[in-house]
Amino acid sequence: MRHSLYLHLAVFFVRADIRREERVWLAKVRRATSEIPLGNAYLLKDIGLNADGRPLCSSEPRNVTAKRQVRHLRRACRLKRAT
């Protein structure tokens, strides 16, 4: 028995929305890089950057990260297909 066209469209739009949310989240969470011409690792550490110019600390609190990871794990477990 085939599913209706409307059901296929609804599933397509939901998957597209999930992909869009993932792209937005990745763009927001992606760590920024600063181009600073300092070659001294200690000076970079003093201003809060790694040797490659990325921030030392995370930009968001740990509870936000934990909630997001739990949400993604729940979604992954819920969407597992039986093989």
Residue with tokens 């794990």: 73
Residues 13, 17, 18, 20, CA torsion sign:
positive
DSSP state of 34: -
pLDDT tier for residue 22 given thresholds of 50, 70 and 90: confident
pLDDT tier for residue 81 given thresholds of 50, 70 and 90: low
Residue with tokens 């490659």: 52
- Convert the pLDDT of each residue in 37-78 to its tens digit: 667 777 777 777 777 767 777 667 778 888 888 888 888 877
Residue 72 and residue 64: Cα distance in Å, rounded?
12
Predicted TM-score (pTM) of this structure: 0.37
Q: Is 34 a residue whose pLDDT tops 60?
A: no
Residue 17 and residue 25: Cα distance in Å, rounded?
12
